[in-house]
Amino acid sequence: MLKRKGLYKHCNSLLTFDRSIRKYKDVSNEKENFMAKKNILVAPSILSADFGHLAEESKKLEEAGADMIHIDIMDGHFVPNLTLGPKAVAAINKATKLFLDVHIMVYQPFEYVERLVESGADRITFHFEATEDVEDTLNFIRKCNCEAGLAFRPETSREFIPKYLDKCDLILLMTVSPGFGGQKFMHDVLEKVKFTRDWIDSKNIRKHGKVGSNSIPPFDIQVDGGVNLETAKLSIEAGANVLVAGTYLFQQPDMSLAIKHLKEVKI
């Protein structure tokens, strides 16, 4: 615990830096308020973009009407693949004003938090299965003035979810096995989405895990993997309100129109 106490102290010191130097984005700013007014949020996954032109791809997503950019980070251990890291997050951050939704598929996620916060992450979502220190990691992310999300693999029991609903800002339910793009949507996960939304509603848990009235925006449930118009409809019907889409969006001739259609899916 000594090491972790030191990290908490260091994270506090980071937040005293001049924001014009660090370009740290305050997640309570107008960007978040704009997002909160929307019913369905679309988060294009930059994993499907051209890695050689991340700045240009980020600007394209912003111009196309994306609500945020979903950035996957993998360590080659928790999942077999290796992908982007903090330097790529920083490069994307310089290129766009969009909310950066960073999903880390790594063991020991606690050790990544500071570097990602410094790089411009607005939300850091890590996997329940990747650490025994779930609450410590959620608390540390929030202490760094960053939103904290918790992800669950498709095979993980839904019974682990309720414990953390008032301790995080988002639940991510993977609808494919993490680590690879272009997989088919796992329909079995829809039952887990519905279970989570029903539990949230029964306990009146709202945005950011707050318990309160309906005047507070709804708690965010994100689905990631195999999302297209058909599976988006099913996911929204089950209770998801944040859609991560990669392969589907980047294959469309008109991304603006594709994002618009996802946001306007009728249920």
| Portion of the chain with pLDDT greater than 70, in percent | 85
- pLDDT tens digits, one per residue of 215-245: 889 999 999 999 999 999 999 999 999 999 9
Catalytic sites, residue numbers: 72, 224
Residue by residue, what is the 3-state secondary structure of the chain? Answer: CHHHHHHHHHHHHHCCCCHHHHCCCCCCCHHHHHHHCCCCEEEEEHHHCCHHHHHHHHHHHHHCCCCEEEEEEEECCCCCCECCCHHHHHHHHHHCCCEEEEEEECCCHHHHHHHHHHHCCCEEEEEHHHCCCHHHHHHHHHHCCCEEEEEECCCCCHHHCHHHCCCCCEEEEECCCCCCCCCCCCCCHHHHHHHHHHHHHHCCEEHHHCECCCCCCECEEEEECCCCHHHHHHHHHHCCCEEEECHHHHCCCCHHHHHHHHHCCCC
Reported pTM:
0.86
pLDDT of 8 over the 80 cut: no
151-155, 182-186, 215-219, range with greatest mean pLDDT: 151-155
Whether the pLDDT of residue 33 is over 70: the answer is: no
Evaluate if residue 5 carries a pLDDT over 50: no
pLDDT tens digit sequence for 195-215: 999 999 999 999 999 998 788
Domains in the chain, start-ordered, CATH in brackets?
Answer: 40-263 (3.20.20.70)
pLDDT digits (tens, 9 = 90+) for 34-65: 334 448 999 999 988 888 899 999 999 999 99
**Could you report the per-residue pLDDT of 109-124, keeping only the tens digit for each?**
999 999 999 999 999 9
